[in-house]
Amino acid sequence: MVQVCSAKGSYKRMLSLEGSRAQTWLDALQTMLDNESFSSNPSETRGTFLKALLRLSNKTGLCPKALQLSHQVHKGEEPVDEGSFGEVYQGRIAGRTVAVKVFRVNQRTDTSKLMKTIWREAIIWCQLYHANVLPCYGIHQLPNQSNRIGLVSPWMESGNISDYLQKRPSSGRLLLLSDIASGLSYLHENKIVHGDLKGPNILVSASGRAFLADFGLSRLADPALLGWTSIRTSTAKSTGTIRWQAPELLNPDDEADPKTTTTSDIYSYGCVCYEIMTGNVPFHTTKNHYSIPMLVIAGKRPPKPDPPDPAYREYGLTEPIWSFIEASWKQDPESRPTAAELQRSHLFSSLVDHRPTQDWGETSAAEFRRRAVPS
């Protein structure tokens, strides 16, 4: 299989397959990607298989059967949450409670292109395996609604990190910052930009562990890795949340929508740190959020709390932590640290973590799929 995906002639012939023959190759490639021998670590072979899987799926409009959970998911009738993207439902699969994020499709949307984009985002997310990245179990296609697709992931009873900290203000906030840095480092190592990092898009497990979620804006940071132009599901100006956005994404003089990058993710990480350590969203005193872009472009940042503030007395904010935050939201993108550098910060090196690493009883999404999807 490696030889077929590496040799130009055989690779081209594989990409020309259609129907059942293409489906057989998609299934075989996904089986290799789910193989435990290299499922948790980036490798040249893994990248080769993912490239082939994405290109063949995009060309044929098909998806690996292992990722198709339509007949296994029992979804609730009413959504438990909704946003501009669509609705979130609670469901059950293989005896476990799951979240089903169903995308809303505009009637004027190019459905074929949108579906391929969602397939692509889903396939990428389904390959991720890290203790601080929310797993994607697979894809749920609604019965009798071929143009409506949902992504299936573990149900997080504790909600997002903002809700979690409101209910549990004494939680170890540095551990949560470390979790987020670790998950972000993993994404960037795999050439993936999150694109919409903020408190509502970070979920917390029952054991108090943070997980990066909502890859609606995710895209490959290096399109050349896949050999095709990266398609973003949405753009920074149209859907990203202004309070967490980097200055380079907010310039009103740019006619084209700017691309989110690993460095803009780092700026957003600094804003998330501010949110966690102060209990406030960035620029919480600025009620008119339309004025925030000009402030950020001018170099303004969320204000540093005064020492009597609960951030110091209750949440653990210190001068070293504030300096750590400031480094992440520097005006010059190239002056910001990388996610790997943040992960190695001395702030995290002495932390003691007694939390369990698994919260839903599976070692990986791949293992869950093997048990949930009949062979």
Architecture of domain 67-156+368-372: 2-Layer Sandwich (3.30)
* pLDDT, mean of residues 266-270: 98
Over the stretch 159-178, which tens digit does the pLDDT of each residue have? 999 999 999 999 999 999 99
Is 107 a residue whose pLDDT tops 80?
Answer: no
Is 134 a residue whose pLDDT tops 60?
Answer: yes
Is 45 a residue whose pLDDT tops 90?
Answer: no
Q: What share of the chain is helix, strand, coil (3-state, %, to 5)?
A: 45, 10, 45
Specify the pLDDT at position 183: 96
Specify the pLDDT at position 227: 30
Over the stretch 221-239, which tens digit does the pLDDT of each residue have? 333 333 322 323 334 443 3
Architecture of domain 161-349: Orthogonal Bundle (1.10)
- 328 Cβ partners below 8 Å, 6+ apart? 266, 267, 269, 270, 273, 336, 337, 342
Cα(118)–Cα(106) distance, rounded to whole angstroms? 14
Which of 164, 167, 171 lies closest to 202, judged by CA?
164
- Concatenating the DSSP letter of every residue in 113-155 gives HHHHHHHHHHHHHHT---TTB----EEEEPTT-TT-EEEEEE-
Specify the pLDDT at position 87: 84
Which of 207, 208, 86, 89 lies closest to 152, judged by CA?
89
- Concatenating the DSSP letter of every residue in 80-124 gives SEEETTEEEEEEEETTEEEEEEEEP--TTS-HHHHHHHHHHHHHH
Residue with tokens 């949340």: 241
Specify the pLDDT at position 330: 97
| Percent with pLDDT over 90 in the chain | 43
Over the stretch 179-236, which tens digit does the pLDDT of each residue have? 999 999 999 998 889 998 999 999 999 889 999 998 654 443 333 333 322 323 334 4
Residue 193 contacts residue 260 (beta carbons within 8 Å): yes
Where do the domains of the chain lie?
2-62, 67-156+368-372, 161-349
Residue 149 contacts residue 115 (beta carbons within 8 Å): yes
* pLDDT, mean of residues 114-134: 84
Specify the pLDDT at position 255: 58
Please give the residue that has the higher pLDDT: either 119 or 300. Answer: 300
pTM over 0.75: yes
Cα(96)–Cα(164) distance, rounded to whole angstroms? 22
Specify the pLDDT at position 237: 45
- 146 Cβ partners below 8 Å, 6+ apart? none
The full 3-state SS of 39-64, as one line of letters, equals CCCCCHHHHHHHHHHHHHHHHHCCCC
Cα(312)–Cα(319) distance, rounded to whole angstroms? 10
The full 3-state SS of 264-324, as one line of letters, equals HHHHHHHHHHHHHHHCCCCCCCCCCHHHHHHHHHCCCCCCCCCCCCHHHHCCCCCHHHHHH
| Mean of pLDDT over the chain | 83
* pLDDT, mean of residues 283-302: 92
Partners of 92 in beta bridges: 74, 97
* pLDDT, mean of residues 348-371: 75
Is 26 a residue whose pLDDT tops 60?
Answer: yes
Please, which pLDDT band fits residue 373 given cuts at 50, 70 and 90? low
Please, which pLDDT band fits residue 324 given cuts at 50, 70 and 90? very high
Specify the pLDDT at position 215: 64
Is 314 a residue whose pLDDT tops 70?
Answer: yes
Is 360 a residue whose pLDDT tops 80?
Answer: no
Specify the pLDDT at position 217: 43
